[in-house]
Amino acid sequence: MLLLLSSCRDQAQDNNTLVFWSSSNPEEIKFTSQYIDQWNLANPSQPLMFQPVPEGQSSEEVILAAVVGKTTPDIYANMWQGDVEDFASSGVLVPLDTLDGFLAFLYERCDSLVIKEITSQDGHIYQIPWKVNPVMMMYNPLLFEQAGVDGIPKNYTSYLEAGRLLKLQQHWLGISEVNAIWWQRFFNFLPLYYAASGGAPLVENGKAVFDNEYGIAVFAFLQQIYTRGYFPREQMKGQSDPFLAGRVASSFTGPWTIEYNDRFKPEGMEFAFQEVLVPDGFTGPVYTYGDPKNIVIFNTCKDPEKAWQFLQTLLSPEADSDFLTLSGQFPRRKDIDTNPLFSEFLQAHPKILPFARQAKYVRGMDSAPYMKEVLDIISQEYEACVVYGLKTPEEAIRAAAKAVDLLYIHL
Amino acid sequence: MKNNRTISSYLLISPYLLHVLVFVLFPVGFSLFLSFHEWNIIGPMKYVGTANYEKLFQDQYFIKSLRNTLVFLMIHIPLQIIIALGLAVILNEKLWFRAFFRGAFFMPVVVSGVVVTILWQQLYGFEMGSINTFLMWLGFEKVGWLIDPVWAMPSIAIMATWKNVGLYVILFLVGLQSVPKSLYEASELEGATRWQQFWHITLPVINPTVIMVMILSTIGGFSLFIEPYVMTGGGPLNSTLSSVLYIYKQGFFYYHMGYAATLGLVLALIILMVVFIQRLVIERKPT
Amino acid sequence: MRKTILYILLGLFAFAFLYPFIWMISASLSEERSIAHVTLWPVAFSFNHYIKLFQSIPIARSLFNSIFVASLVTFGVLVFSSMVGYALARHRFRGRNLIFYFLLFTMTLPFQLTLIPNYILMVEFGWTNSFAALIIPGLLNAFAIILFRQHFLSIPQDLIDAARIDGCNEFRILFQVLWPVSVPTLITVGIITFMTIWNDVLWPIIVIREENLMTMPQLVTLFAVGGRSLGQIGMKLASATLLALPIIIAYLIFQKHFIQSMAASGQKE
């Protein structure tokens, strides 16, 4: 009665082919298969096979199911940085820093801050940064102008003031996700927190460290927005996109919106991007959340060295340039804005330039376990404090920090 | 001859013994074992003593889920009994088209809970749902059925009543039809009003059915999963977080298998206790 | 006069129970932007949602999966539960009463208790993402056993004795002699088991992650909750309609049996 699934995996095991899973994004599929084909041509005795990650509720779930069912690929290219530590501490990933030439390659690709960010709690490195999609503030300059706002607001006070003016015109200042689901913080709390704190971590050494002035300031700011009625609580789904319909003047989003907007925007509409908002009197570079996706090698892989060799071709500057051109997503490189290889694409797509500059100042996710749950805990307090105004920012942040500490108490 | 028969007996029950050993006895024991550990399935198991239990007693979300269940039951059970009994009493009379009405009431019972949930999620829609549209047509204000923390769980309770009432109409009907007509006729001769008839003849007979409705509904209330999972994700403000949904989150979202097992264990005990108390308090011997 | 009021009441309730289904079907056949205007009939009639639905998820496949799993489990339950019911009802052996009381006890155990460990068993057996996980744990259930036992208690002993004299072994007695006279019970247990397995969503969600193996309620649930429906109400309603259709059709044909089975199940509680 056992229906054995004949997966490509079984075939692969028969003839030392390595299996590579990418996301199901069509451009990424195109990019990856191109490089896999190239590799297979050059290395016929060490073939690689490519599959987009199987469909499921979320790719994280699919990967976990694969680990549980012992059907993991050898290389996986779309792992959210926040998940890596959970897999690493369970012993299912290959420590990449033990592979030949890895560290040298890594230091060339990324700066020391990024490397510190991706180093695991046991000192090893289990992931290689692949791409980032920085979250920035998208705005409709015409709506702001019409409302009489002087320039585009950059800090909390001027943004709130703009909100007041826009409300008089019956427009929403912006819109953001309000549910208590962990990933929805990617587009409100997290980027603002990173901006205000200059990229400070959420947790460190098994304790919450976000209960500081920045966490509280961000909660307070966002709470004000909802209390004063500048952002709607309803998500306006099932109707046309509120930004494109000119009903909201701003939102926090990533570079993927550019293509979507260009395709669906009405005649004459403009949109542009700038860094997310910072507290008044802020100085220094504005950080944001980068939604980093990284590549890992599972320890079921029979030949990690070979896998790493392939990855070097996939992550070379030329490959990165191809990737950027094909998908509009940024490779996480320290020279993204200086390397001439990328400038051609950037010149040709001026709208994406702000993201390129921002890509140097992104924070990913702390290398600690349970990051999804940490974000969930923050989201619970976010819902109660920011969206429903039932708690003060101090109470909410304290409660979240306490819950996170409780979570880590058994580590 | 006898020995052969005995062998056959054991052969006949052997699948059951094997099945219950693997899928009932072992899980109960393993549940207990697991509750003293922390495990995320893919890594090693870690012994943590009573830490999971300590966490559980401080767990505001678990407590909230129990309170939510209480809200659900307090609306669902009375509504269910009153409507089901009322409809059954009516259907008990000599009327045309009884089969049609019975069939109509029973329709939501056979349909999958998923269908009902998806359907009602749209009916309850704030901007464009049929219920709010109807309310506005009558001149009332829109209600945030699923987005208002006060209304969310009651909305689910109403939907659950709609889904299940048909079944209990049938059950009450069976009970009602078992009352001999002579009893009613005799009491009428003695001058009893319809209300007195109901109270003294009908109710005692259907009392067992009422108890059964209560117990089944209670167990159902503690088993809510699909409804909050699809309609609200447990929100807003965790007002629709059901205990099973919480166990699911802990076990299959955060992969805290040990803690999830602990929750399951404690919840099962609570359910058994509640049902036991219900039987004690409500059971009345028919006169 | 009084009767008129009763008819009106019944009519209102019947409407309340039937209208949402009609709305669902009509809305699923209307253009997305017109759904808000649907009252009784489709507005801006279109099959679009169904077409896109079939293109997005393997819904036909999931229907097959559900039918396959539910049928197999129902057959297994009928076979195994009748076996145990027969032994408990008409055989004498050591431990018979103990097992019967144990059976009653297991019926009170809430599933919340065994959910997580059963999942872990599936993992250890390697049954996740396979039909085995959906079928094997459901092959026996205490309720069915009790119904069969109840029924077999009422069978005249002569029937069994005659068969024994003819030289039938116990299994032949059960399946060739007793089953034919147990048709109502078989139908009741069959319908209840089939419906229960068909409608179960939590267990498949936990053990099956691969879309091609999902049961129909499971696939529709995940479709409605996940981002694949892209927030399109029409598609969600179309998937719900498709899910409801097989059961509604079966119900309209076998209405009496459905109602009788459910009623019987309630009485035995």
- Provide, rounded to the nearest whole percent, the portion of chain A with pLDDT above 70: 95
Q: Enumerate the residues of chain C whose CB falls inside 8 A of the CB of residue A55.
A: 211
The 3-class secondary structure across chain A, one letter per residue, is CCCCCCCHHHHHHHCCCEEEEECCCHHHHHHHHHHHHHHHHHCCCCCEEEEECCCCCCHHHHHHHHHHCCCCCCEEEEEEHHHHHHHHHCCCECCHHHCCCHHHHHHHHCCHHHHHHHECCCCCECCEEEEECCCEEEECHHHHHHCCCCCCCCEHHHHHHHHHHHHHCCCECCCCCCCCCHHHHHHCHHHHHHHHHCCCCCEECCEECCCCHHHHHHHHHHHHHHHCCCCCCCCCCCCCCCCCCCCECEEEECCHHHHHHHHHCCCCCCCEEECCCECCCCCCCCCEECCCEEEEEECCCCCHHHHHHHHHHHCCHHHHHHHHHHHCCEECCCCCCCCHHHHHHHHHCHHHHHHHHHHHHEECCCCCCCHHHHHHHHHHHHHHHHHCCCCCHHHHHHHHHHHHHHHHHHC
Of C128, C130, C232, the CB nearest to A3: C130
Nearest to residue A329, comparing CAs of A1, A11, A23? A23
* DSSP 8-class letter at B126: T
Chains touching chain A through at least 3 C-beta pairs below 8 angstroms are B, C
pLDDT at A2: 33
A68 at C interface, C-beta within 8 A: yes
What is the tens place of the pLDDT at every residue in C208-265?
988 889 999 999 998 888 766 667 888 999 999 999 999 999 898 988 888 888 777 6
pLDDT at C21: 94
Whole-number Å distance between alpha carbons of C146 and C150? 6
Which domains, from first to last, does chain A contain? 8-132+291-363 (3.40.190.10), 136-289+370-410 (3.40.190.10)
Contact between A69 and C131 using a beta-carbon 8 Å cutoff: no
pLDDT at A8: 43
pLDDT at C266: 65
Q: Enumerate the residues of chain C whose CB falls inside 8 A of the CB of residue A238.
A: 32, 231-233
For CATH 1.10.3720.10, the residue range(s) in chain C are 55-268
pLDDT at A238: 59
Binned at pLDDT 50, 70 and 90, residue A393 comes out as very high
Whole-number Å distance between alpha carbons of B13 and C87? 7
Q: How far is B112 from chain C (nearest CA, A)?
A: 5
The 3-class secondary structure across C6-34, one letter per residue, is HHHHHHHHHHHHHHHHHHHHHHHCECHHH
| Total number of residues shown for chain C | 269
Q: Enumerate the residues of chain A whose CB falls inside 8 A of the CB of residue B126.
A: 234
pTM beyond 0.95, yes or no:
no
Mean pLDDT, rounded, for C43-54:
90
Q: How far apart are the first and last CA of chain C?
A: 39
Q: Enumerate the residues of chain A whose CB falls inside 8 A of the CB of residue B255.
A: 64, 86
The yes-or-no verdict on residue A11 having pLDDT over 70 is: no
Q: Enumerate the residues of chain A whose CB falls inside 8 A of the CB of residue C56.
A: none
Q: Widest CA span of chain A, in angstroms?
A: 71
The yes-or-no verdict on residue A32 having pLDDT over 70 is: yes
C128 at A interface, C-beta within 8 A: yes
Nearest to residue B37, comparing CAs of B256, B251, B248, B266? B256
Nearest chain A residue to C226 by CA: give it. Answer: A57
Q: Which of A60, A371, A373 to mutate against chain B (most B CBs within 10 Å)?
A: A373
pLDDT at B197: 78
Nearest chain B residue to C243 by CA: give it. Answer: B115
pLDDT at B204: 81
Binned at pLDDT 50, 70 and 90, residue C2 comes out as confident
* Class of domain B58-282 (CATH, top level): mainly alpha
| Amino acid code (one letter) for A103 | L
Whole-number Å distance between alpha carbons of C40 and C21? 10
Contact between C262 and B267 using a beta-carbon 8 Å cutoff: no
Nearest chain B residue to C235 by CA: give it. Answer: B118
Residue A5 contacts by C-beta under 8 Å, 6 or more apart in sequence? C129, C130, C210
Whole-number Å distance between alpha carbons of A329 and A342? 12
- What six digits make up the tokens of C113? 């208790």
Name which residue leads in pLDDT, B73 or C268: B73
Whole-number Å distance between alpha carbons of C90 and A119? 69
Mean pLDDT, rounded, for A387-394:
94
Whole-number Å distance between alpha carbons of C44 and C234? 12
| Amino acid code (one letter) for B24 | V
What is the tens place of the pLDDT at every residue in A117-174?
999 999 999 999 999 999 999 999 999 999 999 889 999 999 999 999 999 999 999 9
- Provide, rounded to the nearest whole percent, the portion of chain C with pLDDT above 90: 49
Contact between C121 and B22 using a beta-carbon 8 Å cutoff: yes
Nearest to residue B259, comparing CAs of B93, B89, B56? B56
Q: Enumerate the residues of chain A whose CB falls inside 8 A of the CB of residue C221.
A: none
pLDDT at A162: 95
Torsion of CA B163, B165, B167, B173, to 10 degrees: -160
pLDDT at A7: 42
Q: Contact at 8 Å (CB) between C243 and C58?
A: no
pLDDT at B2: 59
Q: Which of C38, C62, C121, C209 to mutate against chain A (most A CBs within 10 Å)?
A: C209
What is the tens place of the pLDDT at every residue in A42-52?
988 888 998 88
Nearest to residue C207, comparing CAs of C111, C112, C113, C134? C134
Task: Pick C55-268's CATH classification: 1.10.10.10, 1.10.3720.10, 1.10.1380.10, 3.40.50.10680.
Answer: 1.10.3720.10
What is the tens place of the pLDDT at every residue in C63-109?
999 999 999 999 999 999 999 999 998 888 888 889 998 998 888 88
Binned at pLDDT 50, 70 and 90, residue A115 comes out as very high
What is the tens place of the pLDDT at every residue in A266-293?
988 999 999 999 999 999 999 999 999 9
pLDDT at A46: 84
Contact between B119 and C240 using a beta-carbon 8 Å cutoff: yes
Q: Which of B42, B63, B150, B241 to mutate against chain A (most A CBs within 10 Å)?
A: B42
Q: For each of chain B's 287 residues, which pLDDT tens digit applies? A: 556 777 888 888 999 999 999 999 999 999 999 999 999 888 889 999 898 998 898 888 999 999 999 999 999 999 999 999 999 988 888 888 888 998 899 999 999 999 999 999 999 988 888 899 999 999 999 898 998 999 999 999 999 999 999 999 998 988 888 888 787 788 878 877 777 777 777 888 888 888 888 998 999 999 999 999 999 988 899 999 999 999 999 998 888 999 999 999 999 999 999 988 988 887 654 44
β-bridge partners, A293: A80, A131
Q: Which of A57, A60, A260 to mutate against chain C (most C CBs within 10 Å)?
A: A57
* DSSP 8-class letter at C180: G
pLDDT at C230: 66
